[in-house]
Amino acid sequence: MLEAHNLYSFYGKSPILQDLNVKVNQGSFTCVMGRNGVGKTTLLRTIMGLTDTTSGSMRFEGKDLSSLPTHKRATLGIGYIPQGREVIPRFTVRENIIMGTYARTDGKRTLPHHILELFPILKEFMNRRGGDLSGGQQQQLAIARALAMDPKILLLDEPTEGIQPNIVKDIEDVLVRLNREFGITIVLVDHNVKYARKVADQFIVLDKGRISVQGGPEDLTSDVVDKYLTF
């Protein structure tokens, strides 16, 4: 579904990602892991076309992404939930979600019903401004907004960071449902080794902009955790 070969990505003249080869299968759940500053966020931003320059090849469902601007990548079905959530604080919950529909190619601008079933708290706060929600509620809103575009794949950058534990569990459960029940491919940047071992089909460990380890959950051993993931 998503493939990168010999991928380099730059901010200015500095290479952040170096010679990455990544393959994400349709319907899979991939966890991208590593210590802070190793290139995890840059990988997701590169897929979305948000870094300065790239080299190598990157394809989504066989389509070359290299010349496509970010909004065109979104219309292909690539949903992105960045760190910091980036909800629009003065827009209501409803307006924030409807914004996601503008990446749809079928012209629908209605609020998808299944989103409210996944995030019932948002149904209660539909007319509340996004800036008045708690951090966890804003994260749920950011995911709901991405789902409104009817994505084929979701890229999530540490969606549970700094969020109260009960909402962390809710978000983790929703991601599993989106993958298992709705068939949405998930690429998740996360530090939770236990969760990765439980839900991921594959994991990618980055170190200094390169892939150090890649494999299935059985390959996420204690030695790998100690060498690349322990702070």
Digit-coded pLDDT (tens) for 203-212: 999 999 999 9
Q: Please tell me the predicted confidence (pLDDT) of residue 92.
A: 96
**Do 56 and 21 meet the contact criterion of CB atoms below 8 Å apart?**
no
Give the Cα separation of 17 and 169 in Å (integer): 31
Task: Report the half-sphere exposure of 134 (CA within 13 A, side-chain side).
Answer: 11
Q: Which two tokens stand for residue 57?
A: 């090849």
Q: Distances in Å between the alpha carbon of 79 and those of 39, 102, 191?
A: 19, 12, 21
Q: Sign of the CA dihedral 38, 40, 44, 50?
A: negative
147 burial type by CB count under 10 A (0-12 exposed, 13-18 middle, 19+ buried):
buried
192 burial type by CB count under 10 A (0-12 exposed, 13-18 middle, 19+ buried):
middle
Q: Please tell me the predicted confidence (pLDDT) of residue 90.
A: 95
Q: Which domains does the chain have, with CATH numbers?
A: 2-229 (3.40.50.300)
**Do 187 and 44 meet the contact criterion of CB atoms below 8 Å apart?**
yes
Q: Please tell me the predicted confidence (pLDDT) of residue 110.
A: 83
**H helices of the chain, where?**
40-47, 70-75, 93-100, 113-118, 120-124, 135-147, 165-180, 193-199, 222-224
| pLDDT confidence bin for 53, thresholds 50/70/90 | confident
pLDDT per residue over 90-132, tens digit each?
999 999 999 999 998 888 888 888 888 999 999 999 999 999 9
